Amino acid sequence: MKHTIVMTGASRGIGRAAAEHVLRQSPDAHLVLVARGSSGAQLAAELGAGGHPVSHVSADLGSLAGVGSAADKVRDRLDRGDLPPLRGFVGNAGVQYTNALAEGPDGFEATFAVNVLANHLFVRRLQDRFAAPARIVLTTSDTHFGDFKHNMGMVPGPVWKSPEVLARTGAFPKPDTAAGGRTAYSTSKLAVIYLVHEYARRLPAGIDAVAYNPGFVPGTGLARNAGPVARFAMRRIMPVMALTPFATGPGVAGRYLADVVLGTTHAPTGSYVDRSRAAHSSQESYDPQREGELWEAAERFTAAYAAKAETFSGDVTGTPR
């Protein structure tokens, strides 16, 4: 049955591999890529070269107005019948900065804006257009554990605070340092899991929400906003680590992501998928109070851009574990 999957972060690395795998494994899927300007058109042309149905909408994911506009374009195309029923959204785009002081056009800290608010706004604007069975997949990171076992000490663990604080620049100690930027990243990925748990409570039956962790993946474009030393390490040193048991290559991680999106990997709503299987996320990631507070804050932050969205039905599926 023909269906639509909307995807962010498909231009390189894990996302590119996932998009290619989706098109191979699900020829009935129309893949709508969300990307900046002309790069989206070029990417759609490359992925659709084999006759696969691929199109794009342009968006700056750091801008809530841009995200809302992109989501509305998808809604309009669905309503006109230009796209088959919507059965998937993949929020794979993510950023990591060299500090916690980068501010987006809406006044929010840039990591939080892209990794958290952009995903939430997409889900809210598209929620009443999903046709069950459907799946929302948001890419998280095992940096949310904050221990050596999961990230070999390369990224500080999350430091949770009120969402109103996290959404603004300077939320962490030494915000002008790389450690501050990495803390903003790991904290944003903990927030992603909180949102997935809240979606699992609020989304109607048949629309599942899943958090996907690709593990440590050297050679991706995540460090494109990092300093020269970090970029050199990611380009030259980290790819060698892909040969070790601690790492996952972009191609494999992309295939795992596609399997989650397509439902090949068994993952009930609210699940945390660690690479190829559902698993437990960190103990800290199960906190209904924080999840509810983040939901309410994200609603306020995106209210001006989600005004047309209908409220969730309020169906409760229970606290995910």
Segment 17-45, tens digit of pLDDT: 999 999 999 999 999 999 988 889 999 99
Residue 308 pLDDT > 70: no
pLDDT at 66 over 90: yes
Given pLDDT bands bounded at 50, 70 and 90, which one contains residue 133? very high
Q: Which pLDDT belongs to residue 235? A: 57
| Residue ranges in the chain assigned as alpha helix (H) | 13-25, 37-47, 64-80, 110-112, 118-126, 148-151, 163-166, 178-202, 228-232, 250-262, 288-302
Compare 230 and 28 and report the one with higher pLDDT.
28
pLDDT at 307 over 70: no
Residue 223's pLDDT is 47
Determine the pLDDT at residue 309.
44
Structure tokens at 212: 């996907």
Q: Could you give the CA distance from residue 321 to residue 299 in angstroms, rounded to a whole number?
A: 24
- The contacts of residue 235 (CB under 8 Å, 6+ apart) are 219
Q: How confident is the model at residue 149 (pLDDT cuts 50, 70, 90)?
A: confident
